[in-house]
Amino acid sequence: MRVSVQSNLKTDTKTAWDLLKKTSTLIYVAEGVMTYDGAASLPPEWRVGTRVNLKPRLWGKPQGDHIVRVVDVDERDMQIETEEHGGFVTKWRHVMHLIENYPGECQLVDTIDIKAGWRTPFVCLFAFYFYRHRHKRWQTLISRPTVQPV
């Protein structure tokens, strides 16, 4: 099943792209729902070939292993693609894409293809909630330059 969440960001695509590539942005936008025990092993930026076990915590509760492998970082199309899995989730293919609406505004599109057996519909519901949360945090990040992740 596929989940897609999109938001308009009141910033230029270059600024949003620079933030999207930073792994610290993931930590910031997930905060409040998800934290990552494996965050210390993240490189500063997403790079093709990066493979990391995020070891997520959902509202503080450990969720086991969650392996993320970066398969594409497309500078021209401003798109990052990952292949992920962990626990009963056998497939979590995530594409993050920025599209310029016009100068000073761009659209962030998260598309996630999920397979988790009979749990797939429930995992998709969670993914929709989680990515809506992340997009709200993106709005905060963009609207308050002093909040920028490290």
- Does position 118 have pLDDT exceeding 80, yes or no? yes
* Domain count for the chain: 1
Q: What is the mean pLDDT of residues 1-20?
A: 96
Q: What is the mean pLDDT of residues 8-17?
A: 96
Q: What is the CATH number of the domain that holds 34?
A: 3.30.530.20
Q: Are 96 and 78 in contact (CB under 8 A)?
A: no
- Does position 148 have pLDDT exceeding 60, yes or no? no
- d(CA 13, CA 89) in angstroms, rounded, equals 32
51-82 as b/e, with b when 16 or more CB fall inside 10 Å?
Answer: ebebbbeeeeeebeebbbebeebeeeebbbbb
Q: What is the mean pLDDT of residues 10-36?
A: 96
- Does position 146 have pLDDT exceeding 80, yes or no? no
User: What's the pLDDT at 144?
Assistant: 76
> Distances in Å between the alpha carbon of 4 and those of 41, 59, 88, 127?
28, 23, 21, 9
- d(CA 112, CA 146) in angstroms, rounded, equals 30
Q: What is the pTM of this model?
A: 0.92
Confidence of residue 150 (pLDDT cuts 50, 70, 90): low
- Does position 125 have pLDDT exceeding 90, yes or no? yes
Supply 46's token pair. 């997403």
Other CB atoms within a 10 A radius of the CB of residue 12 amount to 16
Q: Domain containing 25: what range?
A: 2-147
Q: What is the pLDDT of residues 13-22, one digit of tens each?
A: 999 999 999 9
Q: What is the pLDDT of residues 65-88, one digit of tens each?
A: 999 999 999 999 999 999 999 999
- Does position 149 have pLDDT exceeding 80, yes or no? no
